[in-house]
């Protein structure tokens, strides 16, 4: 039941939660649930091909049960990840310069930037001379 609840929480989420997020969501209904069980379950689900692990350059992996072809927009401020469903992105051609015998089996486009709330909350002191916020803060 715990593993099913973890999977269902992930399936019904569009937030690309971390293991810690899923633990916080599921543990009230399952007080004996451990964070280790959440990590183990996510590993089993990933190995079974039921979820994807997303590493966006931060310290914690995020998980996605949406297996349909899609891409992401990632806020560098709050680390929000949103799905981008654009069929044109699914038809990109192979980039030049690939080794001749290289076969692409999958790819994902990730647009990185700042969401509206993060842009509105930035102070003038955090803006560089180019008008863009620095990537690392």
Residue with tokens 């996510």: 42
User: Could you list the residue range(s) of the whole structural domain that residue 89 is in?
Assistant: 69-137
Q: Does one domain contain both 74 and 111?
A: yes
Q: Does one domain contain both 50 and 92?
A: no
Q: At a CB cut-off of 8 Å and minimum separation 6, what does 30 contact?
A: 1, 2, 5
Q: What is the pLDDT of residues 84-137, one digit of tens each?
A: 888 888 888 888 888 988 988 888 888 999 999 999 888 654 544 444 554 444
Helical (H) or strand (E) element with 113: strand 110-113
Q: How far is CA 19 from CA 29, 71, 87, 105, 133, in A?
A: 16, 21, 30, 27, 29
- Global pTM value: 0.72
Residue with tokens 């310069």: 97
Q: What is the pLDDT of residues 41-54, one digit of tens each?
A: 999 999 999 999 98
- Helix 19-26 with 35-47: angle, nearest 10 deg: 120
Q: Does one domain contain both 55 and 91?
A: no
Q: What is the pLDDT of residues 13-44, one digit of tens each?
A: 988 999 999 999 999 999 999 999 999 999 99
Q: Does one domain contain both 37 and 56?
A: yes
């Amino acid at each position: 039941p715990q593993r099913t609840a973890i999977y269902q929480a992930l399936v019904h989420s569009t937030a690309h939660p971390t293991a810690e997020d899923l633990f916080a969501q599921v543990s009230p209904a399952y007080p004996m649930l451990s964070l280790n069980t959440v990590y183990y379950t996510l590993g089993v689900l990933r190995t079974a091909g039921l979820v994807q692990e997303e590493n966006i350059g931060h310290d914690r992996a995020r998980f996605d049960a949406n297996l349909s072809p899609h891409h992401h927009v990632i806020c560098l401020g709050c680390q929000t990840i949103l799905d981008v469903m654009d069929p044109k992105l699914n038809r990109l051609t192979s980039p030049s310069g690939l080794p001749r015998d290289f076969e692409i089996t999958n790819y994902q486009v990730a647009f990185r930037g700042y969401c509206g709330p993060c842009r509105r909350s930035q102070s003038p002191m955090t803006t560089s001379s180019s008008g863009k916020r620095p990537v690392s803060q």
